[in-house]
Amino acid sequence: MVRELSLEAVEFLSGEAAGRELEALATGGLEPLATLQRLRRRWGEDEAAWLFDQARLRRRAAAKFPAAARMLFEAEALEQASSWPVARWRARRFFAPWRRVADLGAGIGGDALALAEAGKRVLAVERDPVRAALLRYNAAALGLAERLEVVVGDWRGLDLRLPAFADPARRRRGRRSVRLGEMEPPLADLLALAERVPALLVKLAPALDKAELPAGAAAGFVSLGGELKEALLGLGGLASPQPWAEVLPAGVGLRGPEAAAPLAPPSGYLYEPDPAVIRAGLVGRLALELGAALLAERVAYLTAPACRPSPLAGCWRILRHGPYRLKELRRWLRELDARSVNVKRRHSPVDPAELAAALPRGGAGPEATVFLTRLRGRPWMLLAVAAG
């Protein structure tokens, strides 16, 4: 269990001696008992725990922050922090017109640092003094301290007039929540703020209920490496009446409104839209852009006689398809001599992991993908290989 940080802990971890110890901990294993015993012999009980926890957090943070080895973290704030590529893209995409920007609920600084790196002067507001101290340390470690002003407090008590980014806390009574009224601060407070600032961008949980969005407002959805990362709601000068999707790192987007696409049986190739496109409700619009059709209503698989490569969707060549029968699927894979098998599903009750474990593999043939869905009122299977 990670020990709760204090200002005393941050002061200790910010010191040169602790920095050297953390550098040493960056290599090799972190077996808890042995590592803590060694650290306790040199440091006190608390210091050993702070060092050990920070070494583990740095390793965890490396997936989000390229400079994690120079930064300090707090567990919950790290979990909520934006991935660095997303934060950098957002800073340049939305805040290019302004020289000064406020980051409200700045946490350990992921978004504030990205804004500063993009050349902005940043007012970073964070009401937790420990996280604010971590933010100051991280800004200095990355050479961005001169661009950030860190204010400890609740931004609702400030007379803000700057374009702003807000990342509300999405935990309630220790549990993650996607309800907009249960954020802290709640959506109502953010809507009030939007009335007096030039523009406001709010980071939301991608699983939000779109019916809770303000009337006339649409959210955008961002993915990174095929993983859905966040939803964004623009207000004021950043408001969007249409849903949109952005696929990173390609930096390719798709904007609504949604469009009606034709239905067609499997024909040559299958597209699986990126999760940002699916969550934005733009599968039909993507189908029209790709010259494709929907396999079935409310099923996010597309089909087309030819493959047009796009970062917005994966593309597979359909080898066979038909009603779902496990025995027949096994025969197909044996005949293909598949080296490995992935299973994907939409509107199918079959568990992908259980099915994959029951399928033949290990041959000299290609990597195969099995798509499970529902067509013509029946469970359906499609055997495919990656296009190109």
Spatial distance between the Cα atoms of 62 and 57, rounded to a whole number of angstroms: 9
Structure token digits, residue 370: 């099995």
Question: What pLDDT shows up at residue 175?
Answer: 63
Identify the CATH number of the domain defined by range 78-241.
3.40.50.150
DSSP β-bridge partners for residue 382: 321, 371
Judge whether residue 172 has pLDDT over 60.
no
9 or 180: which leads in pLDDT: 9
Judge whether residue 51 has pLDDT over 80.
yes
pTM assigned to the model: 0.91
* Nearest 10 degrees: Cα torsion 174, 178, 179, 181: 70
145 or 179: which leads in pLDDT: 145
Judge whether residue 173 has pLDDT over 60.
no
Identify whether the C-beta of residue 110 lies closer than 8 Å to the C-beta of residue 65. Answer: yes
| Average pLDDT of span 90-111 | 96
Query: What mean pLDDT is reported for the chain?
Result: 94
What are the tens digits of pLDDT across the range 245-270? 999 999 999 998 999 999 999 999 99
Question: What pLDDT shows up at residue 355?
Answer: 96
List the beta strands (DSSP E) in the chain: 100-104, 121-126, 148-152, 164-166, 171-172, 175-176, 199-204, 219-224, 227-236, 244-248, 252-255, 269-273, 293-294, 302-304, 313-323, 340-345, 367-375, 378-386
Identify whether the C-beta of residue 139 lies closer than 8 Å to the C-beta of residue 145. Answer: yes
- % of the chain with per-residue pLDDT over 70: 98
What are the tens digits of pLDDT across the range 179-204? 888 888 989 999 999 999 999 999 99
Q: Burial, 215: exposed, middle or buried (Cβ in 10 Å; 0-12, 13-18, 19+)?
A: exposed
> CB under 8 Å to 378, separation ≥6 — which residues?
323, 324
What are the tens digits of pLDDT across the range 316-347? 999 999 999 999 999 999 999 999 999 999 99
Question: What pLDDT shows up at residue 174?
Answer: 54
> CB under 8 Å to 187, separation ≥6 — which residues?
180, 181, 202, 212, 214
Structure token digits, residue 232: 């964004």
Question: What pLDDT shows up at residue 267?
Answer: 93
Spatial distance between the Cα atoms of 32 and 28, rounded to a whole number of angstroms: 12
Judge whether residue 178 has pLDDT over 90.
no
What are the tens digits of pLDDT across the range 286-297? 999 999 999 999
Judge whether residue 171 has pLDDT over 70.
no
- % of the chain with per-residue pLDDT over 90: 88
Identify whether the C-beta of residue 136 lies closer than 8 Å to the C-beta of residue 82. Answer: no
Mind giving me the DSSP string for 180-248?
A: GGGSBS-HHHHHHHHTTSSEEEEEE-TT--GGGSPTT--EEEEEETTEEEEEEEEEETT--SS-EEEEE
Judge whether residue 99 has pLDDT over 60.
yes
